[in-house]
Chains A and B, each alone.
Chain A
Amino acid sequence: AQSVTQLDSQVPVFEEAPVELRCNYSSSVSVYLFWYVQYPNQGLQLLLKYLSGSTLVKGINGFEAEFNKSQTSFHLRKPSVHISDTAEYFCAVTASGSARQLTFGSGTQLTVLP
């Protein structure tokens, strides 16, 4: 089975500052990794995913994440945040291959301050 730990439940940051949201996973098999974003009163939407290949993955809205197998991490970064990035961010994992379900972390609330 896989599990995900999001190390920070809340991250406040000022507008135009860089941000990193941390995610660590645990798995005995190869994995696929995902970041989802949930804006207030909305469902989750996919930001980016890592399946294989380059460990640096670029997503929508200027976000990127880096897969680090040795540290079992998949941290999300953005060099300059906007007020509109305020949302809940979820890291998720699934076993690669024919796995059928996602396991989500507990989420990180990113609040961008003016």
Chain B
Amino acid sequence: DTAVSQTPKYLVTQMGNDKSIKCEQNLGHDTMYWYKQDSKKFLKIMFSYNNKELIINETVPNRFSPKSPDKAHLNLHINSLELGDSAVYFCASSQGLSPGTDTQYFGPGTRLTVL
């Protein structure tokens, strides 16, 4: 049973296209996150949602729009893709909002390549 799953695993697309990445967790957690890992392996948080409410919204271009239809899903839609968007995107979930007490569980990642 996969706790946090993401689709697709790989995504190759042209500049200017719009694409979505889906994330689902079956852990019953209330909080979900999107992280971006760049080519130098730096991992940076983009968004977090708690009970479908946006909690963290880091400095991310507004071409990126997260959508949480329910607590178990957090999708990431990206408009007008740019070369610099190429990265690995990780979804994660945790029970609550505090990293100290609420362990984050990560999905396997989606490798996005923009040509």
Contacts and interface: CB of A to CB of B under 8 A. Distances in A.
Interface of A: 32, 34, 41-46, 49, 51, 88, 90, 92, 94, 96, 98-102, 104, 106-107
Contacts, number: 61
Given A43-B92, A88-B41, A100 B106 contact: no
Given A43-B106, A44-B90, A49 B41 contact: no
Contacts of A34: 99
B65 interface: no
Contact of B99 (A42, A43, A94): A94
Q: Which 10 pairs across A and B sit closest by C-beta, in order of nearness? A: A43-B106, A104-B43, A107-B41, A32-B100, A44-B106, A94-B99, A100-B97, A43-B107, A43-B108, A102-B99
A100 B107 CA distance: 19
Q: Is the interface of B mostly helix, strand, loop or mixed?
A: loop
Contacts of A45: 105-106
B44 to A, nearest CB: 7
Given A96-B100, A99-B98, A99-B99, A106 B40 contact: yes
Interface in B75-102: 90, 92, 97-101
Among A51, A94, A99, A101, residue most surrounded by chain B Cβ atoms (within 10 Å): A101
B56 A43 contact: no
A5 B36 CA distance: 18
Nearest to B109: A43
B99 A32 contact: yes
Contacts of A100: 48, 55-56, 97-99
